[in-house]
Chain A
Amino acid sequence: MIYSQGVFPEIVKKATFLSEQPDDSEVNNITSLCIKLASSIKKSIAYIDEKLETGEVLPEDNILYEAMGNVWKLAQLKEIGLYKENASILQLSFVVIDDDIHKALVDTAYWIDVETGEISRTENIRPIRALSYIKTQDSAFDLYKVKELYRYPGGLNRRIRWEAAETEKVKDNKIFEKVLSLAEPTLSEAVKKAKNELKNTMSEPVVALLTAFDSIEFTDDQKPVLKKGEETILLQSNENYPETCEVLKLMNNNFLQDGALLGEFSYDPISRKICLCPISIVVKTGIVRLV
């Protein structure tokens, strides 16, 4: 769950639903989360100590500020330079995630900066008990021109927000060709980028990247495989996108050639492999959403 709050509720939930005779993977799952929590605490203590020593108490570009329970104001982000002027962004995917740990629905979208290729995300958190008071978001197909795009601290897939934006209808395919050109050119490069992010204890468990492909094909037992040159990777659905692989099976072949895949990379400790969950496909004529 890409959701910038503490890991503690997740530990509680996993512990609550632990089976009577838990196997190694269940135990290791909780252990891993506890390690994450312990690391966060250790780093937070060091962070606070440093603040106290140096007297530099104002927040800076550091994920620990939010991890410790603080809430960023847009003015604060602007003050420390975490914003971009005149950004042009295009939505690549949209989904409503049911976060039952925090009892909320989260409107989650991935966006691409059409100038730099940076993939960011928006999150509109709607607590269940306050659903009727918070406006829901929806998919967007236009190009968003944002005067001031605020960027939260983080590595890849930073959370972004804005107060006002102009929208411009996508009139021709040039924008999609541009997006395609911004994709990671090889699987190795995409995986390397993902690994660099995933290995950090405090990073999210998934990293979304746009990866170019020659084709998406299927094994004999109908599992999708992304191919780029000689490189291949198995595509697997995850908790937030549980049916995208099945939707891929139904996709017209035209959309499975010479495109780019927006997917979430993650590491599976059981298979010891880097996994890729498909979310959207970009082709020359548009963006095909799998969810």
Chain B
Amino acid sequence: MDISAFYQLKDRLYASVAAGCGTIKEDFRLKRAIEAFEPLAKANKVFKKLYDMCVGLIDSEKPSEIIVDCIALADALAVTQGTFAEKAITHKQTDSINSQPAYIYSSVLSNRISELQNNTVVSINKSIAFDPRFINAFIKKIGTNSVNFEKCAETLLKNYYGESIIPILKELVKEQFSNPKANGKAVDYIALIAKEKENDFYIDIAFDENAPQTVRASAIKAMAFQPQNAETLEQIYNTQKGNAKKSALMSLAKIGGEIAERNLQKICQKFAKTNAEIIAISNGETCTKFVKDYISQKLDGKISPEEQELIVTMLANKKGLESEILAVARVFLDYKIIDLNDMLVENVINNDDEYYKQLIKNLYKKLPEFFGNAYFWLSVVLTDEEFSTETAHNINKIVNANREYYLRVISRLRYFSLEDTFKICADNYGNSMIDGLPVTQKQILRLLNIAGDVSYLEQAKTIKRKSAVENEIVSCIDISCYIFDRLYNQTAFSVDVLKIVRQKAMDFVTWCVDNYPTAESIVSFNNMTNGKASEQRPHILENYIDFYIKYKSRAVHFSNLRLVPEDILIKELPQVIQKYSDEYEKNKSILIGTQLKELNRMKKALGL
């Protein structure tokens, strides 16, 4: 039965309310709708009721009261007339991502999703990673410009979802066509997982005029995985503008070869700083020669910091420029040397080529004072080669020159359960080239040899007055203790490795407690002995204070005493105070007097 007359009447009733009930008497459209509804009313009892009410409405003196009832009835009737069948053709979902619902509390899942949304993801376990609700939240975040999120995304994509997520990412790419501000991240992630396997997809997007520029640019970049794309890329480079053009050249630079070389020649001939990034990517002859000539020109005069940065950028991935690197190192600012080292390390990380490893070794041999950093990371973390005597000696020398820096980097070692791997995390100041680099357990043991070295501390005992050097030494001890304390119970280590780690930890911390105590070393010792420090070293507090009075000629301040575990303080404080009170009685030493003051202050704070 065609009930369109009913819907028209319903619409007119609503329109009458909107127009104002005062006009109902003159509302000819409403009257017409009621008349058109009459046949339906004759066929159906409930429609008849509505019809009768509407007829009464027209001539009513109080239309506002009646129209409420009319609409209420019309709404109810509309519900009863509502249909639900769906006619579209359907098909079963192809299992793509192999999701698995996690039976977890709503609050737990919400927290993890909030972390994702706020780019503060710290850790996710497998069960949450595969929950479809989490996956949905993750997909919605793709496109976010956040370093934290991108790192999390890369881990999830490479280690968990893999190629199964590609169909979903492809859908996302299509959805982005309607967003001119879309940033092409979905394509980048497809490329990250699939590399050359989705070459046809990249080409389709690259040539799709409906796609936003940035999405096309990402697709063009991804074409670099397939060397056969060189001609197509040249075509894009010659016909397109903006991001697409630049991306095409970047991809050509990555692929290399004849086509790349002839196109790179053009930008080298008319060099603009904005092309430095492209020159950096290429390891071909054209760019290498350009950089060589560029450096040679600049060395004639003073090189500004901006130009130093440019040179470091363009030296990346180049072979045969060892002399040039040595030449710039001699004139660069200190902090640019660090960048130079970073670049050398990145060359090793990004290129599976022995040349770059040998380059670092050669540079270090010639200018050890400049290239120690790159040499250190190459020897300790980027290879698994056993140390030769010479290498061990070199590492020692490098670390001795800047121990605190290396210990701080080692202290950023973290275990990532999502990937079942250890990595060195970023620090608060920005990304270092070593950040996020996976470190094997064998390499961790090497790093712990450095953290556990006490040889420099033997001589350090004799440094009397508080100085920058003394502060640095104490800092090194504390950082090492922190490293060992954190790794002491790290169950991610294999059983054998954990045994070695614990031995190294105990050796170092015990040595410090006995020979060069700090508050941190006492805390670590107490943690490692499960709170039984006092049993193993009954005079640990006394030794700590004695050391500073005897070797450093200064008192241990209240702020350091506070860090000592409370049970140790409660146990030893009375007798230590007694000891120094007796001593003070004998010789009235100012130093002892000061120490007593600090000890009594601590006693009062504990309520003893």
State the B residues within 8 Å of A (CB).
7, 11, 14-15, 17-18, 68, 71-72, 75-86, 88-93, 95-101, 103, 105-107, 110, 132-133, 135-136, 168, 171
Q: Please state if A225 and B90 are interface contacts (CB–CB under 8 Å).
A: yes
Q: Please state if A94 and B171 are interface contacts (CB–CB under 8 Å).
A: no
CB neighbours (8 Å) of A274 from chain B are 79, 82-84
Complex CA–CA separation, A139 to B101 (angstroms): 14
A32-B75, A217-B90, A218-B90 known; A252 and B98 CB under 8 Å?
yes
Interchain Cβ contacts within 8 Å, total number: 140
The 5 closest A-B pairs by CB, nearest first: A217-B90, A199-B76, A250-B132, A139-B106, A199-B79
CB neighbours (8 Å) of B7 from chain A are 272
A50 CB–B CB distance under 8 Å: no
A 222-233 binary contact with B (CB < 8 Å = 1; else 0) = 110101000111
- Can you spell out 16 A-B residue pairs with CB atoms less than 8 angstroms apart? A35-B72, A96-B110, A138-B105, A138-B106, A200-B76, A217-B90, A225-B86, A247-B133, A250-B168, A251-B99, A251-B101, A256-B92, A267-B79, A269-B78, A274-B79, A275-B84
A156 CB to nearest chain B CB (Å): 14
CB neighbours (8 Å) of A136 from chain B are 107
Partner of B80, one of A199, A231, A288: A199
- CB within 8 Å of B: which of A108-165? 136, 138-139, 141
Given contacts A217-B93, A247-B133, could you give 7 more A-B pairs where the C-beta distance is less than 8 Å? A39-B68, A199-B76, A217-B92, A250-B135, A268-B82, A273-B84, A290-B133
B9 CB to nearest chain A CB (Å): 14
* Dominant secondary structure at the A interface: mixed
> Nearest CB to that of B10 among chain A residues?
A269
Complex CA–CA separation, A188 to B363 (angstroms): 80
A273 CB to nearest chain B CB (Å): 6
> Nearest CB to that of A32 among chain B residues?
B75
Q: Please state if A141 and B133 are interface contacts (CB–CB under 8 Å).
A: no
Q: Please state if B85 and A27 are interface contacts (CB–CB under 8 Å).
A: no
Complex CA–CA separation, A199 to B74 (angstroms): 10
CB neighbours (8 Å) of B107 from chain A are 136, 138-139
B332 CB to nearest chain A CB (Å): 52
> Nearest CB to that of B95 among chain A residues?
A253
Q: Please state if B14 and A31 are interface contacts (CB–CB under 8 Å).
A: yes
A286 CB–B CB distance under 8 Å: yes
CB neighbours (8 Å) of B135 from chain A are 250
A213 CB–B CB distance under 8 Å: no
* Dominant secondary structure at the B interface: helix
Partner of B103, one of A39, A217, A250, A286: A286
Complex CA–CA separation, A275 to B86 (angstroms): 10
A138-B107, A250-B97, A274-B84 known; A219 and B78 CB under 8 Å?
no
Complex CA–CA separation, A201 to B72 (angstroms): 7
CB neighbours (8 Å) of B82 from chain A are 195, 267-268, 272-274
A246 CB to nearest chain B CB (Å): 5
Partner of A231, one of B85, B97, B136: B85
Interface centre among A227, A234, A249 (most CB of B within 10 A): A249
CB neighbours (8 Å) of A267 from chain B are 78-79, 82
Q: Please state if B68 and A272 are interface contacts (CB–CB under 8 Å).
A: no
B207 CB to nearest chain A CB (Å): 24
CB neighbours (8 Å) of B99 from chain A are 250-252
A258 CB to nearest chain B CB (Å): 13
CB neighbours (8 Å) of B92 from chain A are 215, 217-218, 253, 256
A161 CB to nearest chain B CB (Å): 20
A175 CB–B CB distance under 8 Å: no
> Nearest CB to that of B85 among chain A residues?
A232
Complex CA–CA separation, A249 to B96 (angstroms): 10
CB neighbours (8 Å) of B103 from chain A are 141, 286
Complex CA–CA separation, A223 to B88 (angstroms): 10
A 189-228 binary contact with B (CB < 8 Å = 1; else 0) = 0010001001111000000000000010111101101010
A177 CB–B CB distance under 8 Å: no
Q: Please state if A31 and B18 are interface contacts (CB–CB under 8 Å).
A: yes
Q: Please state if B76 and A273 are interface contacts (CB–CB under 8 Å).
A: no
Q: Please state if A222 and B171 are interface contacts (CB–CB under 8 Å).
A: yes
CB neighbours (8 Å) of A232 from chain B are 85-86, 90
Interface centre among B15, B89, B92, B98 (most CB of A within 10 A): B92
Partner of A31, one of B71, B77, B101: B71
Q: Please state if B84 and A35 are interface contacts (CB–CB under 8 Å).
A: no
Q: Please state if A201 and B171 are interface contacts (CB–CB under 8 Å).
A: no
Complex CA–CA separation, A82 to B76 (angstroms): 28
A28 CB–B CB distance under 8 Å: yes
CB neighbours (8 Å) of A269 from chain B are 75, 78
Complex CA–CA separation, A94 to B104 (angstroms): 12
A291 CB–B CB distance under 8 Å: yes
Partner of B93, one of A32, A200, A243, A251: A251
Q: Please state if B80 and A255 are interface contacts (CB–CB under 8 Å).
A: no
A35-B71, A138-B105, A290-B133 known; A272 and B78 CB under 8 Å?
yes
Q: Please state if B84 and A187 are interface contacts (CB–CB under 8 Å).
A: yes
Complex CA–CA separation, A286 to B104 (angstroms): 13
Q: Please state if A252 and B95 are interface contacts (CB–CB under 8 Å).
A: yes
A232-B85, A250-B97, A291-B133 known; A95 and B72 CB under 8 Å?
no
> Nearest CB to that of A286 among chain B residues?
B103
Q: Please state if A289 and B14 are interface contacts (CB–CB under 8 Å).
A: no
A38 CB–B CB distance under 8 Å: yes
A42 CB–B CB distance under 8 Å: yes
A96-B106, A217-B90 known; A247 and B132 CB under 8 Å?
yes
